[in-house]
A = this chain, B = another copy of it.
Amino acid sequence: MMDKAVVAIVGAGKIGQIHIDNILGMNNVELKTILDVYTDHLQGTAYEKAVPIITNNPEDITNDPEIDGVLICTSTDTHAAFIEQFANAGKHIFCEKPISFKTEETKKALDAVEKAGVKFQIGFNRRFDRHFRKVQETVREGEIGNPHIIKITSRDPQPPPEEYVKRSGGMFMDMTIHDFDMIRYLSGSEVKEVSVKSANLVDDRFERNNDVDTAIITITFEDGSLGVIDNSRQAVYGYDQRIEVFGSKGSAEAENERPTNVRINTKEAITVDHPKYFFLERYNDAYIEEIKQFAIAILENSPIACSGEDGLKAELLARAAQLSLEENRSVPLTELIAKA
């Protein structure tokens, strides 16, 4: 067994830098290389000192036999090509979600992964959140019996900039995709049908870009149980991330995480902390854990916690949701799979 998994980061933007910072504090991962088209913004930063190679040439990764795995953190439209390139070079791959905006492209990329026999992990970090994980474990251990209703509340603290909205692939592909993965993770059953009711209530920037900002997504699972996700692009009181699994023997609920457990009692009000506001505060531990687990999978040749298949399925659900919205009807997953 190796001591540390040696990795490269592809794309040193916002999410890439989160992973870089996390990896620099980890015991089982060594960051050898950063690849980015533009590397100017990294000059003079601590990264220059801490990371041996900073380059804009992918071959510095593909040709480096020391590199075990690659973390793809670039914009979505470049994912598929990078996956193929690095898989062909025999590198294990961690890729931010979604794999691509097109099912065929995603499948092609995953075929390359399969052919190369490398590991592939999709960046559904919430599977590594300790609250959600405890709910999932409680369900798996049968403590609440068979799931009957799974509920996810997932609301952003504030809408993203319009530029982001334009290239986001739409709310379902950008935001709900995490919830689609979570609901599959919690259920243990596959989705049979998706129904969407949506609205534009938060901000005009969504409607202008043919997108929605508020939605209720109902899911029928193959085992007959039900699920429901409610989304909003703006919860002014903070990042609202709650789940509940209700079953034949009980239920398990995860409340929001707050910075402290302090309650302040005055004549005017009894107050507690707001939910953590930024996704990074809320899910920081989960971001760390997902990369640690990726490294363990490489080092111990053990299974990946969320696979390319999981990535593909969440994408299909996002696509089904979009179709349900457009045609105001329930969309069976088989329809999407047939098309794909």
A-side residues, CB < 8 A to B, are 25, 27, 46, 130-131, 134-135, 138, 143-144, 146, 148-149, 151, 155, 193, 195, 197-202, 214-216, 218-220, 224-228, 230, 232, 234-238, 240, 246, 248-257, 259-267, 269-275, 328-330
Contact of A270 among B144, B230, B273 (CB under 8 A): B273
User: Which residues of B have CB within 8 Å of A138?
Assistant: 262, 264
**CA–CA, A151 and B235, complex, Å:** 15
Nearest-Cβ distance from residue A34 to partner chain B, whole angstroms: 18
Report whether B264 and A236 are in contact in the complex, using a CB–CB cutoff of 8 Å: no
> Is B248 in contact with A201, judged by CB distance below 8 angstroms?
yes
Q: Please name all residues of chain B whose beta carbon is closer than 8 Å to the beta carbon of A130 when the two chains form the complex.
A: 259-260
**Which of A138, A193, A246, A274 is the most central at the interface, judged by chain B CB atoms within 10 Å of its CB?**
A246
| Pairs of residues from A and B, 6 with the lowest C-beta to C-beta distance, nearest first | A250-B266, A237-B265, A255-B261, A236-B267, A131-B260, A25-B25
Q: Indicate whether A248 sits within 8 Å of B236 (C-beta atoms), given known contacts A195-B197, A199-B148.
A: yes
Determine the chain B residues whose CB is within 8 A of the CB of A46 once the complex forms. 27
- Answer whether A260 and B270 are a contact pair too, CB < 8 Å, given A216-B226, A225-B199: no
Tell me whether A250 and B267 are in contact (CB under 8 A): yes
A-B contact pairs, 30 of them (CB 8 A): A130-B259, A130-B260, A131-B262, A144-B266, A146-B201, A148-B232, A149-B232, A151-B230, A193-B197, A195-B197, A197-B330, A199-B220, A214-B225, A216-B218, A218-B228, A228-B228, A228-B230, A234-B248, A235-B251, A236-B250, A249-B267, A253-B262, A253-B264, A254-B260, A255-B262, A269-B271, A270-B275, A272-B272, A329-B329, A329-B330
With A134-B260, A264-B143 known to touch, is A220 a contact of B246 (CB < 8 Å)? no
CB distance from A228 to the nearest CB of B (A): 5
- Inter-subunit contact B216/A197 (CB<8 Å): no
Residue pair B225, A201 in contact (C-beta under 8 Å): yes
Closest to A25 in B: B25
Whether the pair A236, B266 counts as a contact (CB closer than 8 A) is: yes
Given contacts A131-B260, A266-B237, contact A226 B250 (CB under 8 A): no
Chain B neighbourhood of A251, CB < 8 A:
235, 237, 240, 264-265
- Say yes or no: A246 contacts B250, CB within 8 Å: no
Asked whether A155 lies within 8 Å of B225 as measured between CB atoms, the reply is no
In the bound complex, CA of A204 to CA of B218 (Å): 24
Partner of A266, one of B143, B198, B261: B143
Is the pair B230, A235 in contact by a Cβ cutoff of 8 Å?
no
Q: Which residues of B contact A248 (CB under 8 A)?
A: 201-202, 234, 236
Question: In the complex, what's the smallest C-beta–C-beta distance from A25 to chain B, in angstroms?
Answer: 5
Q: How far is the CB of A265 from chain B (nearest CB, A)?
A: 4
CA distance A240 to B270 in the complex (A): 13
Q: Pick the contact of A216 from B149, B214, B275 — CB < 8 Å?
A: B149
Q: Are B274 and A270 in contact (CB under 8 A)?
A: yes
Q: A130-B259, A199-B225, A225-B199 are in contact. Are A149 and B267 (CB under 8 A)?
A: no
Beyond the given pairs A226-B230, A249-B267, A253-B265, 8 more chain A to chain B contacts, judged by CB atoms under 8 angstroms and listed by A's residue number, are: A131-B260, A149-B230, A197-B226, A214-B226, A236-B250, A253-B263, A254-B261, A270-B271
